[in-house]
Amino acid sequence: MSESENDWLNNLIRKSAEVRENAHCPYSKFRVGAALLSDDGTVYTGCNVENACYPVGVCAERTAICKAVSEGHKKFKAIAVITDREETVTPCGLCRQSLREFQIKSIYCAKATPVNGKYEYRLFTLEELLPHSFGPEYLL
């Protein structure tokens, strides 16, 4: 990975860590932040927003996707996801299907705390997270 590629990725992960601070998770205490990079370079962030009626809650990844789509963006290069755990945590099943809808193929799952200013992460492909998936092409 080149130095410049490393920089944009670290910035994307840093934005996911910043928005993690806004997580509304009084029930799970499980904060999540996501930063979604659109094809024109715009970054949309999202955090998890829980609800006293549990099923109403929305994950960070889908918050970011909905913000982007509502602003007119539907093409994306990558998403970064971060929690408070010092291990990589992957998106839930609902979010994987949402990533699939918009063909978000590079999913960077970061560890909670940067080391020397750099976040450690693991890159997953959409195919790894949701193999043999159902997608929009079946409905066209």
Shortest reach from residue 52's CB to Zn ion, in Å: 19
CB of 9 to Zn ion, least distance (A): 21
Using the contact rule CB under 5 A, the part of the chain among 14-22, 51-59, 120-128, 131-139 near Zn ion is: 51-59
Rounded distance between C-alpha atoms, residue 68 and residue 43, angstroms: 8
Q: Any residues with CB less than 8 A from the CB of 86 and at least 6 apart, and which?
A: 111, 112, 113
CB nearer Zn ion, residue 8 or residue 84: 84
User: What element of type H or E holds 38?
Assistant: strand 33-38
Q: Out of 95, 107, 109, 126, point to the residue binding Zn ion (CB under 5 A).
A: 95
- Give the amino acid at 91: P
- Any idea which residues carry the catalytic annotation? 61
The yes or no reply on residue 59 touching Zn ion (CB under 5 A) is yes
Cα angle 10, 14, 20 (rounded to 5 degrees) comes to 150
Q: Which residue is nearest to Zn ion (CB)?
A: 59
For Zn ion, the binding residues (CB under 5 A) are 59, 92, 95
